[in-house]
Amino acid sequence: MIRVDGVNKSFGDNHVLKDINVEFQQGKINQIIGKSGSGKSVLAKCIVGLHDVDSGNVFFDDQSFTSMDRMEKKDIRRQIGMLFQGSALFDSLTVEQNVMFPLKMFANLPQSEMLDRVNFCLEHVKIEGKNELFPSELSGGMQKRVGLARAIAMNPQYLFCDEPNSGLDPQTAIVIDNLIQELTDDFNMTTIVITHDMNSVMEIGDNIIFIHDGRIWWQGDRKDILYTENKELNEFVYASSLMEHVKEALKGHQ
Amino acid sequence: MNVISHIGRYFVLLRYVFSRPERRSIFWRRIIEEIDKLGVNSIPIVALLSVFMGAVIAIQTASNIDSSFIPVYVIGLMSRQSIILELSPTIISLILAGKVGSNIASEIGTMRVTEQIDALDIMGVNSAEYLIAPKIWAAVFINPFVIIISMFLGMFGAWMAGVGSGVISSTDYIYGLQYDFNSFDVVYALIKTVIFAFIITSVSAYHGYYTRGGALEVGRSSTQAVVYSTVVILIANYVLTQILLI
């Protein structure tokens, strides 16, 4: 379980995160939503330790990650898989080498077992026969899938996805969302997705956290999000008229 | 950021760079790859430059000898001294600062802006050690060989130009090359080379590692890497010469 307790983060005079308190549900898909520049990616990077927090604490299973030394943080990080916005695959390595990379660094396995694990992960994200290709030879959607395969290679407890649908067409975005859902269920991971894609929220979000102006503005279930009285959240959710139609359709159903 | 902050952050980075590698086998393999990339791939340009620089030195020395009291073998002697003491270790290192330094800064800078370094950190890999240490060790190991090749080719270039243009005979040139040879000059040149190799790789890697932004900033880091490496090499050259030769 991940808990964020009173976290503040500034960049110079820009106070990005203001007293963030949030608990992420274990084994579920937790989605952090908000406008561009609201601080959601910074929050995710603070949680995984890519940014140091100015004050407050991040807890992984009641262990304070913030006060850990480098070696202890390394141990926690090995339980984290992350899919980056631009996939962040290593350009000089093939698909197979990318997915095998964390295994080579940390798993004491024979080459054949590592290869089996790589193929298992690639099958899980529905990529087969592309082992020898380089990232530059893959489409954006495929790069995301390989990024997901690499993220789950070490069998992590936590999966972070930073805007997994950005730059993807709606059809591929749904495929990636479904993959995240499947991986979360199959590997019983606690997943944290940073997104501003309402389609993704309605599709896979279990626990939605809305950030506005560096603060947690709203937290709840995806069913409640359409009927919230929260003004800022309403503006965000109904920025596209499509969501109004969704709401009407759902009312019709009920 | 002011200069003091940069220097402080540079030494903090070095502390991470020289920590224990995650996997020794991967570390050695990466050193071999970097030796090929940074050293072996630089040999053609170093060879070309050395031959022509040597040739120019021989002709310039010959054109400056206007007294019949100065023996002609001085052309060989002067070429040898210029090449061993300065041209090969310093000028070639400055050229490598341009070629290798910009390559290192842009490679690491691109990895930074495309979040590949973040990906390494998230996995629990010490990204500074993994990316930078093999480059430093590889350059420190291979550059002395590159510079020795440069010395030989420089002297060959000087012989070619001197003998080819008829300003000196082959016998006089070789006599000049061997005249009053002090082997410490080569040691001095190699000490400089090793230190310059460290400067080129570490300063360039520093600029790449702390790149922030996008493609524009990667280009800026690459330029800064070359400029700062060059300045630091020139300062180090003066300091080392003062310490080792006086």
Enter the ipTM: 0.87
Give the pLDDT of residue A175: 87
Q: Closest to B122 (Cβ–Cβ): which among A82, A85, A91?
A: A82
Mean pLDDT comparison of A84-88, A200-204, B229-233, highest-scoring range: B229-233
| Beta carbons of A8 and A18 less than 8 angstroms apart | yes
**Cβ of A74 under 8 Å from any chain B Cβ?**
yes
Give the pLDDT of residue A254: 58
Give the pLDDT of residue B245: 87
**Cβ of B217 under 8 Å from any chain A Cβ?**
no
Name A212's Cβ contacts closer than 8 Å, sequence gap at least 6: A34, A35, A38, A232, A233, A236
SS3 per-residue string spanning B47-74 = HHHHHHHHHHHHHHHHHHCCCCCCCCCH
User: CA separation (Å) from A44 to A11, A159, A164, A216, B70?
Assistant: 15, 11, 13, 13, 75
Which ranges in B3-42 belong to alpha helices (H)? 3-17, 24-34
Give the pLDDT of residue A247: 66
A81-107 residue pLDDT tens: 999 988 899 999 999 999 999 999 988
The distance in angstroms from the start CA to the end CA of chain B is 37
- The residue-averaged pLDDT of A183-188 equals 90
**Cα distance from A168 to chain B (closest Cα, Å)?**
17
Give the pLDDT of residue B13: 96
Q: Is the pLDDT of residue B238 over 80?
A: yes
User: CA separation (Å) from B153 to A60, B47, B69?
Assistant: 61, 6, 29
Closest CA to B201 of B150, B141, B113, B243: B141
User: Distance between CA A205 and CA A198 in Å, rounded?
Assistant: 10
DSSP state of A229: -
User: Distance between CA A176 and CA A165 in Å, rounded?
Assistant: 7
| Beta carbons of A174 and A185 less than 8 angstroms apart | no
Q: Is the pLDDT of residue B114 over 90?
A: yes
Instruction: Enumerate the residues of chain B whose CB falls inside 8 A of the CB of residue A89.
Output: 116
B42-83 residue pLDDT tens: 999 999 999 999 999 999 999 988 778 889 999 999 999 999
Phi, psi of A160 (to 5 degrees): -110, 130
Instruction: Enumerate the residues of chain B whose CB falls inside 8 A of the CB of residue A50.
Output: 118, 121-122
Closest CA to B93 of B20, B179, B195, B10: B195
DSSP state of A240: S
Q: Mean pLDDT across chain A, nearest whole number?
A: 89
User: Distance between CA B209 and CA B132 in Å, rounded?
Assistant: 9
User: What is the reported pTM?
Assistant: 0.89
